[in-house]
Amino acid sequence: MANHKATKKDVRQASKRREANRYYGKTTRNAIRDQKALTDEAAYDEKLPLTISMIDKLAKRGVIHKNKAANLKSKLARKTSLKTA
């Protein structure tokens, strides 16, 4: 690491971003796991928008790729009782 003020600041910022991204990623993975574990259809349908929102935020922040987000949302939506015609 270079011994410059700006470089030290960049290292601090990157560390904060990395920790935040790890937190949001882990929280979303837990939400997806909990979503898949639900057996009650009403509860599943109720929590689905929240889980999808978390996935969208990860993709927006660049933590996961937008195609991965689409795949995750698609897999979760297939289990729902709401069928769109």
Residues 24, 28, 32: CA angle, nearest 5 degrees: 175
The CATH number assigned to the domain holding 67 equals 1.20.58.110
- Dig out the tokens for 24 from the structure: 């949001």
Asked whether residue 68 is assigned to any structural domain, the reply reads yes
Return the number of other C-beta atoms located less than 10 Å from residue 34's C-beta: 11
pLDDT, position 85: 37
Report if residue 85 sits inside a domain: no
Number of domain units in the chain? 1
In terms of residue numbers, what domain contains 53? 5-78
What's the whole-model pTM score? 0.82
pLDDT digits (tens, 9 = 90+) for 17-65: 999 999 999 999 999 999 999 999 999 999 999 999 999 999 999 999 9
- Kindly state whether residue 84 falls inside one of the protein's structural domains: no
pLDDT category at 3 given cuts 50, 70, 90 is confident
Q: Within a domain: residue 72? A: yes
